[in-house]
Every structure is written in C-alpha cells, then in structure tokens.
Chain A
Amino acid sequence: MEASGYVDIFATKGIEYLLVIGFLLALVLFWRLLTRSTPRARGVGATAGPAPWFSLASDRFYHQGHTWAVPEGRDVVRVGMDDFAQKLLGQPRSVNLPRVGEIVEQGEKALGVEIGTKSVGLLSPVGGRVLDVNEEILRTPRLINEDPYGKGWLFKVSVPRMAPTLKNLLSGKLAWTWMENTVVSLRGRMAGELGPVIQDGGLPVSGFAKELSPEQWDEIAREFLLTE
C-alpha cells in the first residue's frame, strides 16, 4: 500500500549541483596533477628536478639510436651522438670511426666506442659516403662528453637523397616526445631508485649505464642504442 502524498523527487538536486561544481574545480586540479608540466625548451627530464636530465639541440634530426644529423649544404650531413648517449656511456677510452670513403647505411652500425674492457656500437642516422671524420675526438675522446652537439661531432657524410633520409628521423616535437619516452624507459629500469643514477646536482651520472648494471652495462647500453 503506497502512501499517497507529495514526494519531492528533486529533493537532492540542489546538493547534486553543488557536487558537480565541486567536481569541476577538482577536475582542473587533478588534471594538472596527472599531466606533468611541460619541460623547458632545451632539455627533457624529471618532473620535480631543477635541471633537465638530457638536452636536445633544437636544430638536429635524431635517430632512435641516439645519434643526430644536421645538414650542412646541399648534400652534406654532420653526424654525432646525443647527450643521452654520451651520458649513458661515459668517457670512452677510444672511438672507432668509419674510414673516409666508406659507405654507411641509415640505421646500421657505423661506429663503436670502447669503454673499459667492453665496446658498444652506435647506428648511423643517415646513409651515404663518409666525407670526413673528426680527428680531434680520436685524440681527445672526452670531447664527446663535453660538447656532444658541437666539438664532439663524429663524422660527415655525403647524402645523395637528403629529403627522404631526413624524413625518417625525429625532429622538433617528435624528438621531444621520443626523449621523454626514453626517460620513461630509463626510469622503468631504475625501479624507482633515483640515487645511483642521478647526482645530488640533479643531473645523471656520466656513464650511468654502469650504475644500472656494473656487470652488464654494455647490454643495457646496446638496448638503448638499438645495436643489440
């Protein structure tokens, strides 16, 4: 038997509207919590760190194997390794560059570095004939660590088909996103422990591959440099 009488079917509407307003405010706050603040123009790295972990030169074209290419003239490209790679490896004992006149292929192993007793290869970002190599770094390998985008350049290549070659490389925003993803993978391997890899200054230790795994750092390095 139903009691007949006035039933206010909208009794809770007022509170519901208040809840919705509260939700919209909370949503904005939660959104900011979830999406990290955009990194500064030059570097990519930790959310809460003061300085970016790895820098990217903005005018370069990057290969996922952490080497860069920059056009110089109509069909010449200068090649080097990026900040991530040099920090990953640390200071090399020696560098094995391709010989002038040698043909290199885009995405194929073109050079190697020796660190300690192990050696690790890197992929060439472009394909073509090697025109020139940087003699300086053969004498002073640490130039790679000091200035990976400038004095630490590796070799120059004559690239017959510039546009299709560059089309395959990452630049601008894509390079940015790729570096962010690399940091995610790196942090995934750090298992939440920042200490061994990141110094007190907030920057990665030089040669941090060794911090991740003293015995098998070269395998980790190869995994990131895509030369497995």
Chain B
Amino acid sequence: MNTMNRRVFLKTVGVAGAMALNSGAARGETESGNDPLAVLVDTTRCAGCRNCELVCAESNGLPEPDVMDESVFDEERKPSETQWSIVNRYETDVGEFFVKKQCMHCVQPACTAACLTKAMFKTSEGPVIWRESKCMGCRFCMISCPFDVPKFEYNSPVPKIQKCQLCWERLQEGERPACVENCPADALTFGKRSELIAEGRRRIYADPGDYVDHIYGEHEVGGTGWLYLAAVPFEQLGFRADLGNVAYPRLTEDFLYGVPIVLTLWPAFLLALARATKQEPHIPNVEA
C-alpha cells in the first residue's frame, strides 16, 4: 500500500508540475478559451452550390453574388473586400472537388498579434473579429496573415478591413454561422474544436479510402478554427503546405521578448560608459 501511495503521489506531482511548466506561465503567457468554436469542412461532401456564399452576403450586408453563374469556377478565386467567403472548384485525378475558403480563425492568429490597436481581436469563444472603432488602417494584419485573408477597401475614404467574422453577432444570439446553417450538403459542421477534430478523425478511420489521413488546420500555423477534410492531398485543393506548425506570433516572440532587456541593459551600459570616458579639463604644465 505504501509503495502504491508513493507512486501515485509522485505521478500526480509530476503531471501537475509538467502541466504547470507547459502551460506557458513561465513564458509570461495567459490562456483563455482552450476549446474554441470551430467549423469542420468536409470537401468530399461539398457540391459547389455556393449557397454559403449567398447567405454569407445576405447575413453581413454584402453584395450578393450570382450563384447560378458557373463561370466563376474557371479561375481560382480568393475572398475579396466584397465577399468574405468563396467556393473554388478543383479538378483532380480522383474527380472534381469544391472547397470553401474564408478566414481560418486561427487558434493563435497572426493578425491579432500584429494589430497594434487591438482592432483584430481573438474572442475568448474563438472567432477572430475586426473592430471598426479601433482600426487605423495600417494593414499590418494583411502583411502578417499566412493565408492572406484580410481585405482592405482601397477605394473608400473610410476603408474597412473585410473578412469572415464567423457570424459573431449571430453567435451572440445563440445561432450558428449562416453558412453552416444553410449548407444543404451537410458539408459544414459547427462545434467545439476538440469535438470537430474527433469527428474528423472518426470519418477518416471509418472510410480510410475516401479521405487523406490529415485534418488541415489541426496543426498548421499552430492550429486553425476552420478544419478541412479532403480526399486528395491538400496542395491540390489550393492549400499551402509550407506554412509549418509554429503559430505565427511565435515568430516575433524572440524579438519582442528581447525589448525589455534592451531597455534595461542599454541605458545602464551607456551611462556607465559615459562616466568612464569623462575627462577632466587639462591645464598644460608651464616651465618656470
């Protein structure tokens, strides 16, 4: 009994200690919202009806696209300053697939770290929103986003940043995002990120022949809120495979962590140096 208790005790302490260290408290971080709201996109189910584009525009006061016009599929589109979400068509060896693209609502977003006025804001529930009252229009978020998501209204004297807000206002009222609510093919699933990853894994294991064994967004850039399943390698569906698994804010971490150190060391060193080089006025010796 004694050995069992001792082992349990050590294990508990060890796990607790490891958790404390891993929690990033030592690095001056704080966590909020461990399990953000997210969306799982199953590209094997998407039929390219573009209903999501339509309801997104309706819901957010944007110009409604002509979803009957199939010629848009001839080119690979990106979201624009008038369209937060678009669907692209990709021809692959296995067949043609439709992929919905929009803001990825990263777990640790580059845009939020980049924004110096906190206009780009990661809510504790998960969605990354843009707050008009704070934005100065510096466009640093656009430089930093690995997916080139934020779009800027260059032709307006009062320009806004345009990107998917994960229907933040609808979420406040307990509703689901408009695109998820209105997808007839059940390609979009909304829920907590951990549950969606579990669901994604379940689908892959259940039908391994239908899916590539990878959930895009599970680890890319430290994890994103929009997760994708596909039947073909993701590069063939217009996804960048070279982004790495490091959350983008970590790329400026070393520099920013060094700033207080420089602010401390430099003045002390310079002051000491100025004192050390101080010279007294010199009067030449005069021979009598």
Tell yes or no: B137 within 8 A of A by CB: no
Residues of A within 8 A of B245 (CB): 2
Residues of B within 8 A of A2 (CB): 219, 241, 244-245
Instruction: Check if B284 sits within 8 Å of A61, measured CB to CB.
Output: yes
Please report the C-alpha to C-alpha distance between residue A73 and residue B287 in the assembled complex, in whole angstroms.
Answer: 7
Binds B, one of A18-26, A120-128, A146-154, A161-169: A161-169
Tell yes or no: B234 within 8 A of A by CB: yes
Please report the C-alpha to C-alpha distance between residue A71 and residue B288 in the assembled complex, in whole angstroms.
Answer: 9
| Given A1-B214, A1-B233, A1-B234, residue A167 in contact with residue B244 (CB < 8 A) | no
Q: Mark B266-288, 1 if CB is under 8 A from A, else 0.
A: 00000000000000000110111
Tell yes or no: A40 within 8 A of B by CB: no
Please report the C-alpha to C-alpha distance between residue A166 and residue B286 in the assembled complex, in whole angstroms.
Answer: 9
Residues of B within 8 A of A163 (CB): 283-284, 286
Closest CB in chain A relative to B188 CB, distance in Å: 23
Please report the C-alpha to C-alpha distance between residue A225 and residue B245 in the assembled complex, in whole angstroms.
Answer: 71
Please report the C-alpha to C-alpha distance between residue A89 and residue B244 in the assembled complex, in whole angstroms.
Answer: 74
Please report the C-alpha to C-alpha distance between residue A15 and residue B284 in the assembled complex, in whole angstroms.
Answer: 55
Closest CB in chain A relative to B111 CB, distance in Å: 23
Please report the C-alpha to C-alpha distance between residue A1 and residue B235 in the assembled complex, in whole angstroms.
Answer: 8
Closest CB in chain B relative to A163 CB, distance in Å: 6
Most buried by A among B214, B283, B284, B288: B284
Residues of B within 8 A of A162 (CB): 286
- CB-contacts of B203-243 with A (<8 A): 212, 214, 219, 233-234, 241
Tell yes or no: A139 within 8 A of B by CB: no
Please report the C-alpha to C-alpha distance between residue A61 and residue B282 in the assembled complex, in whole angstroms.
Answer: 14
Instruction: Check if B283 sits within 8 Å of A167, measured CB to CB.
Output: yes
Could you say which of A1, A74, A167 contacts B284, with CB atoms under 8 Å apart? A167
15 contacts between A and B (CB under 8 A): A1-B212, A1-B214, A1-B241, A2-B244, A2-B245, A61-B284, A71-B286, A71-B287, A73-B288, A162-B286, A163-B284, A163-B286, A166-B284, A167-B283, A171-B284
Give me the interface of B with A, judged by CB distance under 8 Å.
Answer: 212, 214, 219, 233-234, 241, 244-245, 283-284, 286-288
10 interchain residue pairs of minimum CB distance: A166-B284, A1-B214, A162-B286, A71-B286, A1-B241, A171-B284, A71-B287, A167-B283, A163-B286, A163-B283
